[in-house]
Amino acid sequence: MNFRDLLLDTLRTLWAHKLRTFLTMFGIAWGIVSITLMVAAGEGLRVGQKKMADSFGKDIMIVFAGRTSMQAGSTRAGRVVHWEDTDYKFIMQEAPACDWVMPEVGNNELIHSPFNSASLLVTGSLPPFAGIRSIPVAEGRFYNWEDDTLARRVAFLGSDAKKQLFSTRPALGQSISLGGIPYTIIGVMLKKEQDSSYDGQDISKVFIPFRTMLQDFPNKPPQKARSVDRLIVTPKSLEDHESCKWQVRRALGRVHGFDPHDEEAAKIWDTVEDTKAFRTMTDGMKFFLGAVGIISLFLGGIGVMNVMLVAVRERTREIGVRKAVGATGRAILWQFFVETLIIVFLSGGAGLGLAYGFCAAVNSLPMPQYFAGLIAGWDAGLAAFALLGTVALLSALYPARQAAAIDPIEALRYEAG
């Protein structure tokens, strides 16, 4: 029998046993779909969390001034601490594990444009603030070092701030009044999703250079005029994270006379630790979903094995007839191999198509925060395909080989009995 005749005979056999063929194909396809979707959901949670964390800032620490809770030398506990506008320079010298230490000041001001007015938060910091705090640029540019050195009155608008002040009109190059002082708009922010902040959403702010902020909008009493609200700190690497944190506390303790172990004096919002904690949770969820998918895959494999074993046992008489008319054991095994191969590839292709098609359909819908959609990698689907395909082949070839090895008369008697 040539391959063409073998293929046609195999297809006729499969069509003659439609229900059995469908059950086998369904078991394989279902196993592939289940594990692919489970792993894709877990990966979507992980990527969504990382995306939301990066929208606020990547690997940063926000250092707030607080109140001492420990006595340091002759100074009493309970003393209020204020960061100064020059602290960041000293810390940069004393904290080699830190990549950046930047001051930040923010005050609400009444802002007028030629078209509207609004009370918005005006924030001042150094130029690297845009990259560290993930402030994307839609038009123009963020302020640079020259703008800060010369204390230029230039402003960068958040996307919602631009909408409030100019609606759909162009804002780049326009002049606005911040607290009665004219500023020129040099850039507009690209809209971004943000799940957390310490003083409001970035899209609703107006950003100006740090020196300009201290000059035009210093902090009001009871705070000191040259004080800053917080310090933005980034480690040189994740490995330097704890060293950077300690070096910042130690440097601030030296400048402001408090014990560096006093966490209440220098409160730190550590997004690195938050990210690690959330990553642990999402990884656990991903592993849980993957385990559920593996269980589904295992059950699907058992179903495929049972159907294939029963199918071959039922065809013992057919095997005997084929041997009686001259078919060799090798030819019989080859036919079962081709049959199973067709089932495996058709059901595997259908399972992969359904899984990735469903993922694409879901991903076309709006996604909630912390979820980036169903991110399906090829590894899970192909692994499921390989495993179930191997189960199906072994479940078909093993009993077929046993049946092909017995005497044709015994095979006929076995079926007849």
The DSSP line for 68-117 is --S-BTTBPTT-B--EETTHHHHHHHH-TTEEEEEEEEEEEEEEE-SS-E
- Ramachandran sector of residue 167 (left: φ over 0; alpha: ψ -120 to 50; beta: rest): left
* pLDDT the model gives residue 406: 65
Question: Using CA atoms in the order 53, 54, 55, 57, what is the torsion angle rounded to 10 degrees?
Answer: 100
CA 332 to CA 323: how far, in whole Å?
Answer: 8
Exposed / middle / buried, residue 238 (Cβ in 10 Å: 0-12, 13-18, 19+):
exposed
C-alpha distances in angstroms, 211 versus 109, 124, 231?
17, 8, 15
Per-residue b/e over 10-48, b at no fewer than 16 CB within 10 Å? beebbeeeeebbebbbbbbbbbbbbbbbbbbbbbbbbbb
Q: How many CB atoms lie within 10 A of CB 99?
A: 17
| Beta bridge partner(s), residue 75 | 72
SS3 sequence, 379-399? HHHHHHHHHHHHHHHHHHHHH
Tokens of 81: 């601490």
Per-residue pLDDT of the chain (417 residues; tens, 9 = 90+): 555 655 666 667 667 667 777 777 777 787 778 778 877 887 787 777 766 666 566 778 999 998 888 876 667 778 888 899 999 999 999 999 999 999 999 999 999 999 999 999 999 999 999 998 889 999 999 999 999 999 999 999 999 999 999 999 999 999 999 989 999 999 999 988 776 677 888 999 999 999 999 999 988 777 777 889 899 999 988 888 889 999 999 999 999 989 888 989 899 988 877 667 766 776 676 677 667 766 766 666 666 666 666 666 666 667 677 777 777 767 777 777 777 777 777 877 888 888 888 888 888 888 776 677 888 777 767 777 777 677 767 766 666 676 666 666 666 665 444
pLDDT in the model for residue 417: 44
pLDDT score of 238: 80
Residues contacting residue 284 through CB under 8 Å, at least 6 positions apart? none
- Residue 416 has a pLDDT of 44
Q: Where does residue 409 rank: exposed (0-12), middle (13-18), buried (19+ CB within 10 A)?
A: exposed
| 323: Cβ contacts below 8 Å, ≥ 6 apart | 329, 332, 404, 408, 411
